[in-house]
């Protein structure tokens, strides 16, 4: 097999990010759709109940893609490489997160009833919501450290917890990458990756998150990210050392899809989804087969490119619109509700496109300019590298 240059993206892995983001979005809009269409059965769809499990897919994919883009940079870890990586990651995540949070502030100031409604929670696992939109939480969210500690000072943008966990992963990534680049045994890399996922399964069992089918987003969320991201790094190292796929890529992808589909009917086994996600990512990395072509399709690629902005912007928009329209939905026809449902879906997509173009891409360019300026100040030749939105 001809290995893919690190500067090239893997289209189907961008596409799967879009599909996974859409899956999570559908779960987040499930309550809105149920109310808008007066269709209680929507709250009992197994496919949407399982959507939070896809978070691990994002985390494994993050480690894999970071290695695909940066592995050669960390054959040796030095100060210049660390600075370049951290500056690039900073401008990848913080500008967009800050813009979204600042856009939420006027809603909090102008609609105290919405703030009070947001503090309601369905069970003990969500008791932290009593602090939703608390001002100390804004600082925690701006710094993207909300998943780093046991203390939850107040949620402002629910989906951003995954970004907070990823920032923690970014901090450790250069050192993990350096360690894995010293590993030249395929069997050892496979054991390390498998062991990491097994440790996550044991942690989920020990904390009862498997039995109660919860989607832990606090410190346990960071634990999920660290184990999955490390597994993704190991998976890429295995991929880099394999001369050919162990089986046909379509079979790998098929297994990767079949596992989470099967566990929808056996929720206790949902912890095994991570192994399916790893198989799916590995299969897609070879860029062969019908499943790869499906994930590399234009709709999937489109959603993959805006997935970061789309994920950050839709949570509060859905919640606020649902709060505004709860009474009108009860008084009007399903056609009225369907119109609003379509409007909110289109609004989320359009805002994702806008933020991707106006904040995300310019942020990457600013990060590159900052790195180039710091290189010149240090007397180092600036690196020539492509602009990429891979996470």
Residue 4 scores a pLDDT above 90: no
Tens digit of pLDDT for each residue in 268-319?
A: 888 899 999 999 999 999 999 999 999 999 999 999 999 999 999 999 999 9
- Please tell me which of 125-129, 149-153, 161-165 the model is most confident about, judged by mean pLDDT: 161-165
Interval 198-224 mean pLDDT: 82
Share of the chain above pLDDT 90, in %: 70
pLDDT at 350: 97
pLDDT at 387: 46
Q: What is the 3-state secondary structure (H, E, C) of the chain?
A: CCCCCCCCCCHHHHHHHHHHHHHHHHHHCHHHHHHHHCCHHHHHCHHHHCHHHHHHHHHHHHHHHHHHHHHHHHCCCCHHHHHHHHHHHHHHHHHHHHHHHHHHHHHHHHCHHHHHHHCCCCCHHHHHHHHCCCHHHHHHHHHCCCCCCCCCCCCCCCCHHHHHHHHHHHHHHHHHHHHHHCCCCHHHHHHHHHHHHHHHHHHHHHCCCCCCCCCCCCHHHHHHHHHHHHHHHHHHHHHHHCCCCCCCHHHHHHHHHHHHHHHCCCHHHHHHHHHHHHHHHHHHHCCCCHHHHHHCCHHHHHHHHHHHHHHHHHHHHHHHHHHHHHHHHHHCCHHHHHHHHHHHHHHHHHHHHHHHHHHHHHHHHHHHHHHHHHHHHCCCCCCCCCCCCCC
Band (pLDDT 50/70/90 cuts) for residue 215 is confident
pLDDT at 359: 96
pTM of the model: 0.91
Residue 129 scores a pLDDT above 90: no
pLDDT at 384: 55
pLDDT at 1: 39
Band (pLDDT 50/70/90 cuts) for residue 49 is confident
Tens digit of pLDDT for each residue in 175-199?
A: 999 999 999 999 999 999 999 999 9
Band (pLDDT 50/70/90 cuts) for residue 99 is very high
pLDDT at 246: 87
Q: Looking at per-residue confidence, does 121 or 211 come out higher? A: 121
Band (pLDDT 50/70/90 cuts) for residue 6 is very low
pLDDT at 23: 92
Residue 370 scores a pLDDT above 80: yes
Interval 217-225 mean pLDDT: 86
Tens digit of pLDDT for each residue in 345-360?
A: 999 999 999 999 999 9
Interval 138-155 mean pLDDT: 89
């Amino acid at each position: 097999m001809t290995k893919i240059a690190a500067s090239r993206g893997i289209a189907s892995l961008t596409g799967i990010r879009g599909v996974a983001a859409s899956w999570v979005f559908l779960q987040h809009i499930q309550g809105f759709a149920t109310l808008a269409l007066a269709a209680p059965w929507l709250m009992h769809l197994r496919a949407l109940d399982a959507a939070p499990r896809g978070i691990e897919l994002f985390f494994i994919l993050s480690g894999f893609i970071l290695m695909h883009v940066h592995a050669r940079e960390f054959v040796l870890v030095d100060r210049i490489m660390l600075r370049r990586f951290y500056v690039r990651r900073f401008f990848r995540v913080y500008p967009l997160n800050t813009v979204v949070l600042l856009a939420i502030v006027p809603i909090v100031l102008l609609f105290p009833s919405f703030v009070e409604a947001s503090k309601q929670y369905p069970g003990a696992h969500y008791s932290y919501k009593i602090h939703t939109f608390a001002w100390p939480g804004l600082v925690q969210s701006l710094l993207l450290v909300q998943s780093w500690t046991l203390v939850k000072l107040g949620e402002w943008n629910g989906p951003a917890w995954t970004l907070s966990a990823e920032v923690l992963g970014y901090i450790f990534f250069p050192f993990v990458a350096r360690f894995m680049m010293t590993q030249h045994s395929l069997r050892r890399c496979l054991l390390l990756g498998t062991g990491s996922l097994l440790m996550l399964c044991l942690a989920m069992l020990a904390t009862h998150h498997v039995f109660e089918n919860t989607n832990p987003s606090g410190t346990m969320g960071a634990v999920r990210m660290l184990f999955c991201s490390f597994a993704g790094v190991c998976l890429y190292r295995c991929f880099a050392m394999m001369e050919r796929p162990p089986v046909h890529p379509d079979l790998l992808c098929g297994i990767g899809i079949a596992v989470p589909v099967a566990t929808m009917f056996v929720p206790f086994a949902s912890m095994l989804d991570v192994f399916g996600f790893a198989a799916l990512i590995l299969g897609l990395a070879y860029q062969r087969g019908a499943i790869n072509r499906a994930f590399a399709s234009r709709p999937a690629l489109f959603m993959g490119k805006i997935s970061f902005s789309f994920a950050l912007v839709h949570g509060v928009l859905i919640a606020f619109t649902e709060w505004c329209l709860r009474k009108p939905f009860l008084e009007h026809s399903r056609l009225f509700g369907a119109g609003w449902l379509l409007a909110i879906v289109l609004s989320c997509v359009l805002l994702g496109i806008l933020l991707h173009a106006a904040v995300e891409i310019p942020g990457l360019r600013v990060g590159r300019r900052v790195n180039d300026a710091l290189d010149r100040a240090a007397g180092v030749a600036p690196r020539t590298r492509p602009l990429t939105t891979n996470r």
